[in-house]
Structure 1
Amino acid sequence: MFRTTLALVLALSSPALATQEYILPTLFDVSGVAANDVLNIRAEPDAKAAIIGTLARDAKAIEVVEEREGWGRVNTAGQSGWVSMRYLSYRTDVWQPDAVPAAFRCLGTEPFWDAKREGGDLVLRTPEDQAGDRRPVQAVLDTGVFRDPSRVVVARDMTLFAHPQICSDGMSDRLFGLSATLVIHGDSPRMLSGCCTIQP
């Protein structure tokens, strides 16, 4: 009896069975900031670093793309900075199976493009086509790993791959948490690269 109980305890405490709290990028809400205060965004992950922006004490759905020693990287006003993770609480409703977050959007430069899911379609916009090329979404695939942000959006003649990786748009000082590859099928197949965000 003792051996059986011990084996069960060891199995349940195995790291392989542990649930990851979150995988970045994901969304957080600001919490624990005093009513008359704000959460500072700093240039570096250091309490003495220059303040480059602020978040309201009740700010919601803040995208954190990277974490370093208790600090989270966020984007603000065309640049990225760091906030103390002590004042952020993660949202459990962001990465759902077979879906992308409502604000999921991918973009690239050289050439410029923008793709996001709108209703049942994956819509690709370019400077030449602002109305957008709409393709019905056939499936949204995930890895099956709990809260893993990796996604593949399969649409008619178009497939969008997104996976966690620090990514630059090449046009600003912002950094993103998802790297994107968009493959357009058809008679003249082409591949576009870029970054994705889930920040509302």
Structure 2
Amino acid sequence: MATHLVAPPAWSQPHSVSGLNAHSVLNIREDIDQTLDVGSSAIIGTIPHDASDVMVTGISVAIGDAKWREIKYNGTVGWVNARYLKPANMLLERPEALQCAGTEPFWNVAIDENASTFLSPDLESPIELDYLRLAPGIGRSDLWGHYLGSADGAYSLTVIVRYTEACSDGMSDLTYDYEALLLGLSASGAPAYGCCSISR
């Protein structure tokens, strides 16, 4: 089965099920991002043909000719065929909470107004950060600057997030809806690159 990176078809926001008849359900599969084999992945739930509150996380993968998106529905997180999803609203909405990570160097930032954290290999545990402010992009609805800092002033990070539908972590077949530039990781001011998904 051929695999390749794919840009997901719609924003990470509530989606509706589309294209199923009234007697059908949309199966939720488990772990296809790891196996890249739909047939061997267990069905862990179903979604009614008329559901309108399916949350996509912003992660997708291509398996053969099909696009699959990671979703959360009624507490179940799994994968569904993207051809049966459509955005509930065509306006791009800013995610309330994101999980962003990068490689070389490795880093991880949880962006949340209530509980942001930063983690890197040289830290034993995540550092709690205050969410200082949000700066939407000038003239762009797909760009946001998140400003974070630790209470002791030791860490001051800026995470520039952009909706691209095509961010690759360089280590897997997954594609992420959001790319990130992290400023403040290096004393030189050099940005670090990464990808983000919606926190679930």
Q: For the superposition of Structure 1 and Structure 2, which TM-score range results when normalised by the shorter chain?
A: 0.5 to 0.7
CA separation in 2, counterparts of 1:112 and 1:186? 12
- Partner of 2:32 in structure 1? none
Unpaired segments of 5 or more residues in structure 2?
Answer: 1-8, 30-36, 72-78, 150-155
1:50-129 to 2 correspondences below 5 Å: 56-58=46-48, 60-63=54-57, 73-76=67-70, 83-84=82-83, 87-90=85-88, 95-96=93-94, 100-102=95-97, 104-120=98-114, 122-129=116-123
The 8 Å contact of residues 58 and 198 in structure 2, kept in 1 or not, is answered as no
Residue 134 of structure 1: how far off its partner (Å): 2.6
The percentage of aligned residue pairs carrying the same residue is 16
1:1-200 to 2 correspondences below 5 Å: 24-32=10-18, 33=20, 34=22, 36-38=24-26, 56-58=46-48, 60-63=54-57, 73-76=67-70, 83-84=82-83, 87-90=85-88, 95-96=93-94, 100-102=95-97, 104-120=98-114, 122-143=116-137, 148-156=141-149, 157-165=156-164, 166-184=166-184, 187=187, 189-198=189-198, 200=200
CA separation in 1, counterparts of 2:54 and 2:124? 30
Residue 57 of structure 1: how far off its partner (Å): 1.8
Residue 136 of structure 1: how far off its partner (Å): 1.9
Q: Judging changes above 3 Å, is the alpha-carbon distance between structure 1 residues 36 and 187 closer, same or farther for their aligned structure 2 residues?
A: closer
Q: Judging changes above 3 Å, is the alpha-carbon distance between structure 1 residues 28 and 120 closer, same or farther for their aligned structure 2 residues?
A: closer
Counterpart amino acid of residue 38 in structure 1? L
RMSD over aligned Cα, in angstroms?
3.9
Unpaired segments of 5 or more residues in structure 1?
Answer: 1-22, 42-49
Q: Judging changes above 3 Å, is the alpha-carbon distance between structure 1 residues 72 and 164 closer, same or farther for their aligned structure 2 residues?
A: farther
The 8 Å contact of residues 96 and 112 in structure 2, kept in 1 or not, is answered as no
- Larger Rg, first or second structure (1 or 2): 1
TM-score by length of structure 1 reads: 0.59
Residue 81 of structure 1: how far off its partner (Å): 8.4
TM-score by length of structure 2 reads: 0.59
Q: How many residues are treated as equivalent by the alignment?
A: 158
Runs in 1 of length 4+ with deviation above 6 angstroms? Answer: 52-55
CA separation in 2, counterparts of 1:188 and 1:121? 27
